[in-house]
Every structure is written in structure tokens, then in C-alpha cells.
Amino acid sequence: MDGASERVIGDHLAKRHGLRDRLVIATKFALTMDPDDPNNGGTGRKALRRHVEESLTRLRNDYLDLYWKHNWDRHTRLEETISTLDDLVREGKVRYVGLSGTPAWAVARMATLAEWRGWTPIAAIQAECNFLERTSEGELFGAARELGLGVMPWSPLANGCSAASTRGRTRARRVPAPGCSSAGTWASALGRCWTRSEHDDQRGRGGRLSG
């Protein structure tokens, strides 16, 4: 949230001249970097321009390959956001733009606005997609298919819920579901939990699903 990952990448590239053009660097905008500044977050023109300059400074670069809108901003007109992104592309600071955490109707509208007005087209969308959360397979993926957008899923392991248990660990265990406050409540999200018993581990067999 404080740009630390951008600084790490920037420091790495500063020590390895010539590596930048071999990489595709993407970052995001919209979340506030200063909770005390009401103009810091969001997808409005003022915040967007500030964020791209700060990201480029931390990355020690003069352009981004892909610039993601991080989340949905219901307070800013879509025209303002997409036109500002188009300005950044024309200025050479951004190559492509993507939408993350954006409802399907807004994705369709922004893509259509860009097409009709000759602005930079939307290149891709990012949506949560895993075996617990599959609502994006409906309208969002349908919109991406129709509009020719790339799709990048986030949280494919459902915050670790779909990861296999650690090898050699013998005790049966339950993993809390996302948002649950206590362990042992994974079943509230799945209706079942993944367990691996000592007997299964000793025999070298996989885990089993139990109610």
C-alpha cells in the first residue's frame, strides 16, 4: 500500500542496465496512499496523474507497460477516468490500460467510449476467480470475450483455501474461509472441509473431503 514493491523493482532495475526493455511492468492506481488527503485516492484526473508520477518515480522508469485501475470508484465519471488514461498513453507514460474490480456494465461502457471517441482501448480486465468465487464467469468474462479483452484472475487459490496441505504434516486441520474470524469454519463457505489424516499421510494417499 505504500509503494514498497515498486521501490524494490526500481532498485533492482537500477543495478541492471538494459533489463527494463525485457520486462513487462504493471502497477495500479485508485487506492489512497495518504488517508489524511481526500484528493489522494480515487480515479479522478487529479489523483490519477499524481499516482502515475509517483509510481514512475519509485520504479525509476519513464513509462509503464500496463496501468490497472485497482477498484471501482462510483464517485468519478467513467469519461474522466478513461480520457485521463488516454492522455497518459499519448504522453508516453503508459502503454496499455486495464480494469480491475470493475462491474461488467462499466467495463462495457468504458470500452465503448474509448472506441467511439478514439481513445486508448481497454486491454484487459482483472477479476477474482477461483473455486469459491465464480461469479466473474458470467457477465464479466462474457464482456471480455465479446470486447476482445484479456483476463487476469486474482486470488486463484482463494486466499490459500485451495492449496494442498503441507507434506509431512499429519494432523487433520481446517482452514478458515476468507472473512471468517475463527479456524474450523471453512465449512461455512464450502459446506465441507479438506482434511488430511495421519492414516492417509502414512499410507501416502491424498486427502479426502468430509462433511
What is the structure's pLDDT at 191?
43
What is the structure's pLDDT at 32?
84
Query: Which domains can be identified in the chain, with CATH numbers?
Result: 4-154 (3.20.20.100), 163-211 (no CATH)
**What is the separation of C-alpha 93 from the centre of its chain, rounded to a whole number of angstroms?**
21
What is the structure's pLDDT at 40?
85
DSSP annotation string for 21-51: GG---EEEE-S-S-TT-TTSSSSSHHHHHHH
Question: Over its length of 211 residues, how does the chain's per-residue pLDDT go in tens digits?
Answer: 688 999 999 999 999 989 999 999 999 999 888 888 888 889 999 999 999 999 999 999 999 999 999 998 999 999 999 999 999 999 999 999 999 999 999 999 999 999 999 999 999 999 988 888 888 888 999 999 999 999 999 888 888 887 765 454 544 444 444 444 444 444 444 443 333 333 444 444 444 433 3
Provide the residue type at 23 as one letter.
L
What is the structure's pLDDT at 202?
42
Short-list 78, 142, 80, CA closest to 112: 78
Contacts 24+ apart (CB under 8 A), 134-138: none
| Measured distance CA(110)–CA(81) in Å, rounded | 9
| Measured distance CA(123)–CA(83) in Å, rounded | 15
Contacts 24+ apart (CB under 8 A), 88-93: 88/48, 88/49, 88/52, 89/120, 90/120, 92/62, 92/63, 93/52, 93/56, 93/62, 93/63, 93/64
